[in-house]
Structure formats: structure tokens, C-alpha cells
Amino acid sequence: MAIIDRGTATLALAHALAAAERGLPVIPLSPSKLPALRSPHRDETEPALCRGECGLPGHGVHDATTDPAGVRALFAAAPWATGYGIACGRPPHHLIGIDLDTTESPGHTGTAGSVADSLSALRDLALRHLFTIPETVTVLTPSGGRHLWLTGPRDVVVPNSASRLAPGIDVRGSGGYLVGPGSVSAHGAYRLAPGTAELSPAPCPRALLRLVTPPARPRRPAHARPRPPHGQGLVHFVLAAHEGQRNTRLFWAACRAYENGIGDSLADALTEAAVHAGLTEREARATITSAARLTSGRRR
């Protein structure tokens, strides 16, 4: 394990405590931006669907808390943490994160002019759907991207999505988290954009909220037999992967998900399952992206 600068770890805790004081639930993050505490169920033979009910830390965003004592306990258990994550979709703010990344356009090799500007893509969405991008808390990322913080209604669940709105625009909603300002990752520091430090997260415009929220499913009659959540079998298939078969299982499951039209909605659950199985988040998302590309022709 890399040697962690104690000053960086101390600052991460201080920033996390300040965020918790403002009502933002937090968890410690490692330099890879993943939750710093590993699952207590990682060595169990059967896949665990525990979200913290066992009382032990290591359940990712489900550990997030605003209690100062709880925050200190999490960071004490993860002295290597160099940052903190802020859980989205949780009261009182019901935070929605619009992650504007700098991504390479498909088919380009990184030459000048080949970078897709996700901020421009968001502005195009605003023009087409008649909403204004509000002034709000904005966090600058080491890669040159930015995170816009918005608040949502308490009765609306916003799912996580990757590039569903437009290339390079990810949405962090219920079950997701944003890297908090003051965090340090392996690639650099996250910091508040000038002029936004004194702002509060702005309400998400109604038109944008409709774009990031999938349409409600039709309600089944009360007498209908309940069915298991669509795609959970694929998630369990990935969770049960052993060393040497993790990537293969994830790719197969992602292909089936996209072929059945649930790839985008299941991508984060498959990623989380793959991380629990032993892959890194980067590896998992790359594999899922490859599956999406492979199956795109079959779905046309």
C-alpha cells in the first residue's frame, strides 16, 4: 500500500466533517476515489446483499453519515483515506450530481479538436429543452471536468447514469456519490470553482429533472404476483465470480443487459458487483462500455 501523507489524511477528515455539518452524508475515499473500506462480506462464498444491516462498515455509500462521531469512526478505520465522498439522493438536500467530464470523441486519437465538450453538450440540452443552468456549487476535478451540485424533490428518485444524457455527462443520484472538494486522488485535488464556495446547491430545473428521471413504471394490479427486480440475476452472476472469471462474467452479464434494454439502468449495479468481486471501478466500467458497443448493432 502506498504511504499516505498524514497531512492529506487529516485534511480529508476535516473537509468531511465540515460537509457533514452542512447536512451532507459522507464516507472516506481512497486515492483511487473508491470507498476506502472494503466489504466485510468479501470472503463469503454466497453473494451478500447487505447494505449495512450487519452493523459493520465497508458497505460503500450505505455507510455515509452526517454524525461527527460516525465520520471520525469511519476515517479511523481507514487511515489511508485521502478524500471523502458525498452520498447523493439523501435528505435533507437530496443531492443530484451532474458530472461533466472531458472525454475523447469516438474514433479520435487525442489530437487537437478531438475532445467532446460536455459543458457545451449540457448547454445544448438546456436550449433544446428550455431550461437555464443555474448558478450552483461547482467542483473542479483533476482531469479538467466539473461537478455541478443540484437538489431534487424528496419524493423523486434519480438514478445514476453514464453518458445517457450526452457523451461525457454522467448523473450521480440515489446510491451514487460525488468526490467532495478538498479531496486528493491519485491524479490530483478536487476544489471548489471560484465564485461558488458561498453558494448553496440550486434546485434542479424541472426540465432537466425530467431528463435525468426515467418515466414511472405502470402499476401492476394488487393481485399480480410480484416479480424479482429485473436484472438482479445478472448482478448476482457477477457477484459470484471468482478470480480469473470476473471480467468474463461481467462482460457476459453486461451484454445480456444491453440486449434486453436494461444496460444503462443496470450499469452501476453491475459495476458495484464487479468491484465487490475484485475488479477496479475503471476496469468494470471499461468492460461494460465494451459490451454496450458490441451489442449496439444488435439493438438497432
Position 292 scores a pLDDT of 85
Of the candidates 128, 120, 127, 66, the one whose C-alpha atom is nearest the C-alpha of residue 93 is 66
Nearest to 141 by CA among 176, 108, 105, 185: 185
Residue with cell 471501478: 281
Q: What is the pLDDT, as a whole number, of residue 283?
A: 87
Instruction: Give, for all 300 residues of the chain, the pLDDT tens digit.
Output: 444 677 899 999 999 999 999 999 999 999 999 999 998 888 777 666 788 888 899 999 999 999 999 999 999 999 999 999 999 999 999 999 999 987 554 444 443 332 358 889 999 999 999 999 999 999 999 989 999 999 999 999 999 988 889 888 999 999 999 999 999 999 999 999 999 999 999 999 999 999 999 776 666 665 555 444 568 888 888 888 877 788 888 989 888 888 888 888 889 999 988 888 888 888 889 888 888 888 775 544
The pLDDT score that the predictor gives to residue 133 is 96
> How far is it, in rounded angstroms, from Cα 36 to Cα 32?
9
CB-count burial class (<10 Å; 0-12, 13-18, 19+) for 125: middle
Is 291 within 8 Å of 254 (Cβ atoms)?
yes
Which triple of cell numbers denotes residue 156? 423523486
- Across the beta sheet with 26-29, what order do the strands follow? 26-29, 83-87, 177-179
Q: What's the first-to-final CA gap in the chain, in angstroms? A: 46
pLDDT at position 123 is 93
Rg for the chain (alpha carbons), in Å? Answer: 19
- Pairing between strand 188-189 and 184-185? antiparallel
Q: In what helix (H) or strand (E) does residue 170 lie, and over which residues does it extend?
A: strand 169-172
